[in-house]
Amino acid sequence: MQTEPIGSIPRPPALLKAMQAFQAGAIPRQELDASFASALRDTIEQLEQTGSPVISDGEQTKPSFATYPLSGIEGQLAPDGVVIPFADGHTRQLPRLTSGPFRYGVHAASFTSAAKRYAKAPLKQAVISASALSLLYPADGIPGYAREGFLADLINEAESDIRGALRAGADSVQIDFTEGRLSLKLDPSGGLLRNFIALNNQVLDRFSAEERQRLGVHVCPGGDHDSTHSADVDYAGFLPDLFQMNVGRFYLQMASERDRKRVLALVSGLLRPHHTVFIGVIDVINPQVETAAEVRDRVLEAARILPVAQMGTCDDCGFSPFADDTSTARDVAFSKIRARVEGTAMAARDLGL
């Protein structure tokens, strides 16, 4: 049975210290790059030691899962963009685009290429969705740069981001779409969600059917400082639209879901023959490390409802989507991943795979 990580691993304290020192002007870029390389190498080595058949770069060199394309284009951004509130009261704020044309300052291929220098196992690359970056454009527009022009540029850049990662050697590409469930909180009518899906599909439609089998979408209710932004939004109102995304793989938060059997039944009715669904079996915001037996039981629970041939497992979310989130210890994250790998293997044996 396939099993894959979702993305971010907590950065080592030495890297966080170096990032802060660089931002303060206390160390040169060369020293920061050395810290990045050390953290990346260690992360890949530890992921491979868990036995995970597919690994990621742990997003060690990203400022966050969402904002990496904005590095280098700070002159086109203002800090007062969309605010995302979390259940515990803290917020995250996106920047606001102030001028065009919109171009990524950094593409995901650079992360893939860096990780490939150390990785022996197949490497999955996470990218941010076009729909998330569409939130950069202000509601009152930008003089001389219409929204239509921005979206055309965004679609081109999002396609290049995915295609570049594949060309750089990514085994698969995961599109992070955590704003999907949140959109129903912002617009309960579902109009915003359907607009998001349509925008992402404009990107995906540029890929062949064979290529789309290597592309997946990850969804969760957010996971930052052990809090979420949309866990109270019912999956039932979200999943039918989500499965209109033109991808071959779906990575679904499930371990922390209150009524997994109900949601799994919904998923069963939405699966198409060309889909593989990866079920979250690790609750990344729960500090308790799951046992392999607990993971096995979660897999077997899903296997009673979903076709086993179309199933895989994953973590619910990244462990540290924002670089400054230290709520989960690095060793805890690796222990949880090891439990996922071992528990999935136990379930596969029980299922006769």
pLDDT tens by residue, 326-348: 888 999 999 999 999 999 999 99
Q: What is the pLDDT of residue 163?
A: 98
The helix/strand/coil state of 253 is coil
Does 231 have pLDDT greater than 90? Answer: no
Share of residues in the chain with pLDDT > 70 (%): 100
Q: What is the mean pLDDT of the chain?
A: 95
Output b/e per residue, 44-59; b: 16+ Cβ within 10 A: bebbeebebbbbbbbb
For tokens 């379930």, name the residue. Answer: 347
Please report, for the chain, the start and end positions of each structural domain, with discontinuous segments joined by +: 2-350
Confidence band for 324, pLDDT divided at 50, 70 and 90: confident
The residue type found at 289 is V
pTM: 0.95
**CATH class given for the domain over 2-350:** alpha beta
| Residue-wise pLDDT tens digits, 243-259 | 999 999 999 999 999 99
Per residue in 58-87, pLDDT (tens digit) is 999 998 888 999 999 999 999 999 998 888
